[in-house]
Amino acid sequence: MTQFLTEDDFARLRDIRATRPEAIRDALTGRRRRDVLRGDGRLFIVAADHPARGALAVGGNPTAMADRYDLLDRLATALSRPGVDGVLGTPDVIDDLAALGLLDDKIVVGSMNRGGLRGASFELDDRMTAYDVRTMVASGIDFAKTLVRIDLADPGTVSTLTAMAGAVTEASTAGLPIMLEPFLSSRSDGRVVNDLSTDAVILSIAIASGLGASSANTWMKLPVVDDMERVMAATTMPTLLLGGDSGVDPDETFASWEDALSLPGVRGLTVGRMLLYPPDDDVAAAVDIAAGLVHTDL
């Protein structure tokens, strides 16, 4: 992969973090902002909130996302491509990108709950450990995002749902859009597994839709599964489709996205590892294909 950022860029970033941390907040609040929806009313968001939950693997590489400089370079490449509307990340990633001057005219989505660390005994206790609504509003973050994993056999799920309901209520009061990423989950051989059957996704939507005192600002972030027509019939909320891990046939995945993007209510894509770490390592090409599926006028 061709390097987009230079060693001077990274040296400047390290210097800002060490000697001028206030410049990060200034970069966020002073950046050039845009409407969440414009033009064709669709969104293509690149996701990079996986590391904060201890999820560093991509495909068969267990530490693919461990190199922060490599990740930032891949994100910079993605954000430079036409049709990429913004980025989803935890504060550490968003702060790096802001300090590097990469967020002008981009939608910034703040990831709120990263406490459910992959492989932990408490993985399904997904309370808020990253952004909160007050900070996002004050910092000029455009959108909030939460992961909502529901295990009907795990009493800890109620803590997650309570935290999610509070976040939705706060976001609605502040007028901040918030996307919920719901799954029905369970443990198998000590691992948390998401049920991607059509009926399970529909049930997760029904549960997540009722969280909070108002759903006026709620969006959905949903996987592409079988019978997406039935899935999308389960919600009137604007929906972004999520990607997945690398390891599946990219052409097959792109085809499934194209079909799902044609459904009423689907507003675009939020995809991370599959585009940032494609099998051929050509980030720009992978991002361009996805952008063309979302924004057909490119």
pLDDT digits (tens), the chain, 298 positions: 668 899 999 999 999 999 999 999 999 999 999 999 999 999 999 999 999 888 889 988 899 999 999 999 999 999 999 999 999 999 999 999 999 999 999 999 999 988 788 888 888 888 899 999 999 999 999 999 999 999 999 888 998 899 999 999 999 999 999 999 999 999 988 888 999 999 999 999 999 999 999 999 999 999 999 999 999 999 999 999 998 665 567 788 889 999 999 999 999 999 999 999 999 999 999 999 999 999 998 8
Residues 6+ apart with CB under 8 A from 263: 228, 229, 232
The answer to whether position 17 is within a domain reads no
What is the rounded distance in angstroms from the CA atom of residue 180 to the CA atom of residue 220? 5
Predicted pLDDT at 250: 79
The answer to whether position 165 is within a domain reads yes
Predicted pLDDT at 102: 97
What is the rounded distance in angstroms from the CA atom of residue 102 to the CA atom of residue 41? 22
The answer to whether position 33 is within a domain reads no
Instruction: Give, in degrees to the nearest 5, the angle at Cα 287 between 7 and 176.
Output: 90
* CB of 271 closer than 8 Å to CB of 242: yes
Number of domains composing the chain: 1
Question: Closest Cα to residue 228, out of 268, 255, 251, 201?
Answer: 201
Predicted pLDDT at 245: 63
| Residue 223 bridge partners (DSSP) | 242
Distances (CA, A) of 250 to 133, 197, 259: 35, 21, 14
Predicted pLDDT at 1: 62
Predicted pLDDT at 189: 85
Domain containing 67: what range?
Answer: 40-294
The answer to whether position 18 is within a domain reads no
The answer to whether position 191 is within a domain reads yes
Name the E strands within the chain. Answer: 43-47, 86-89, 107-111, 143-150, 178-188, 191-194, 218-223, 239-242, 266-271
Helices vs strands, H then E, count in the chain: 11, 9
The answer to whether position 15 is within a domain reads no
The answer to whether position 24 is within a domain reads no
Tell me the CATH number at 258: 3.20.20.70
Predicted pLDDT at 126: 83
Q: Are strands 43-47 and 266-271 parallel, antiparallel or unpaired?
A: parallel
What is the rounded distance in angstroms from the CA atom of residue 43 to the CA atom of residue 287? 13
The answer to whether position 135 is within a domain reads yes
